[in-house]
Structure 1
C-alpha cells in the first residue's frame, strides 16, 4: 500500500483501528443500515457502550471511513501526478491512480458511492468539498489541454461518474495497466469528440 494511503490510517492494533476495519467490512458487505453498534462491538470483543469512548455514534464511524477514503485517494492522486511531462500524461496518471486505489480499496470506495446518503447534512457538505477538490484536479487537466472546449465541467462530471462507478462493477479479468490504459482512452474520446452546439 502506498505511503500516502498509510499516512491517514489509525495506529495499527488500537481498538479504534480495529473498529474502523470491522465497520468497513460490515458496512461494505452487509450495508450500513443493517449493522448496529452491537454488531461492531461484538466483532472486536467489546460491550456496545464501550464504543462511545471512541466514536460519538455509528454515523461518525461512517463519516470517518468515507472522509479517510477520499483524503487518501486525493493525496495519492496528487503524488502520482507529480513530474508528469504533459497534460496527457497527467490524465493517464490521474486515471491510473484511481484504478490502483479502487482495486486495492474497493470496500472504501463502495462506501463513498453507496452510503453517502446516510451522512448528516454537515458531513455531506464536508464530503462534497473533498469530492470537489478531487474533480478540480481532473478539470484542470481537461481545461489546460482543451481550453476551447466549453463542456469541460460536463466532461469532468461524466468521467468522475465513470470512475467511481467501478465500485459497482463485477470482477473484470484484466490487468491494472490495461484497465487504466483503456479508461484513459475512453476519457480522451470524451474530451476530443465534437460537442453538440448549445441551443
Structure 2
C-alpha cells in the first residue's frame, strides 16, 4: 500500500517554502492569532515586509497551508483506494489514509480543524469544497457497504459526518499510543460497527 503523501517530500529550500514550514510550526503550536508577521520572518532572519514578496497576507499563508493539507489528504486517499476489491477493503483503506496522514502530518491537520475559522468566507468555501470531495469518497463506500444503490440516503450522510468527525478528532487525542496499523484496524472496526448497527431491518 502506498505511503502517505508528506509535507516534506515535495518541499524545496526556497525562502517561500521555508516560510511555509515556519508558519506551519508556529500556527500549529502557538495559534494563528498569536503569531505576527515579525514572528514568522524573524525565524528566517528576514524583514517583516519581505513576507509580501511571497504571500499577499498572513491569511493567504494560512489558506495555502490548509488547502495544501486537504489536497494532499484527498490525493493520497484516492491513491490508496485504487485496486480495493470490495467496499470493506475500501473502507479500511480510507481510514488508513487518514490515520497515516494524521500521524505524519499532525500539525497540518491541526490547522484544518482549529484555524479554519480565520480564513475569509471565500477561502472557507473553497476549503469546504475539498472537504466535500473527501467526504464524498466515504459517502460512496458507506452507501455500498449498506446496500444502497444509486443514491446517498440521509442516514448515510449522517454516518459519514460522524466518521469524519471521529477521524479528525485524532488530532486532539493525547492518551492514545498505538502504531499506525493497530490504530487503523481499531478505527475501521468502529466504523463497521456504526454502519452495521444502523443498517435497516
1:195 Cα shift? 5.9
- Corresponding residue of 2:173: 169
**Residues 146, 195 of structure 1: alpha-carbon distance in 2 compared, 3 angstrom cutoff:** closer
Unpaired runs of 5+ in structure 2? none
In the alignment, which residue of structure 2 is the partner of 1:91? 91
Query: What CA RMSD, in Å, does the superposition of the two structures yield over aligned residues?
Result: 2.0
TM-score by length of 1: 0.93
* Distance in 2 separating the partners of 1:67 and 1:26: 17
2-structure distance, mates of 1:150, 1:76: 27
Do 1:26 and 1:35's aligned partners in 2 also have CA atoms closer than 8 Å?
Answer: yes
- What SS does structure 2 have at the residue aligned with 1:142? helix
Q: Tell me the TM-score normalized by structure 2.
A: 0.92
| 1:104 and 2:108 matched | no
Q: 1:150 to 1:17 in 2, by over 3 A?
A: closer
The 1:109–1:102 alpha-carbon spacing in structure 2 relative to 1, beyond 3 Å, is same
**Counterparts of 2:174 and 2:125, CA distance in 1:** 30
Q: Find the counterpart in structure 2 of residue 71 from structure 1.
A: 71
Structure 2: how far apart are the matches of 1:85 and 1:170? 34
Residue 56 in 1 paired to residue 56 in 2? yes
Deviation at 1:72, TM superposition (A): 0.3
Q: Distance in 2 between matches of 1:41 and 1:7?
A: 20
Given that residues 8 and 72 in structure 1 are in contact (C-alpha distance below 8 angstroms), is that contact kept between their aligned partners in structure 2?
Answer: no
Aligned residue pairs total 196
Please say if residues 73 and 98 of structure 1, whose CA atoms lie closer than 8 Å, have aligned partners that are also in contact. yes
Give, in angstroms, the shift of residue 2 of structure 1.
4.3
2:76 maps to 1:39:
no
Q: For 1:154 and 1:2, how far apart are their aligned partners in 2?
A: 29
Distance in structure 1 (CA, Å) of the matches to 2:8 and 2:86: 28
Q: Indicate if the aligned counterparts of 1:5 and 1:76 stay in contact, CA closer than 8 A.
A: no
Query: Which consecutive unaligned segments of at least 5 residues does structure 1 have?
Result: none
Structure 1 Cα separation of the partners of residues 78 and 97 of structure 2:
9
Question: Structure 1 residues 39, 181: CA separation in 2 closer, same or farther (over 3 Å shift)?
Answer: same
Provide the rounded CA distance (Å) in 2 between the counterparts of 1:66 and 1:102.
14
* Deviation at residue 168 of structure 1 after TM alignment: 1.0
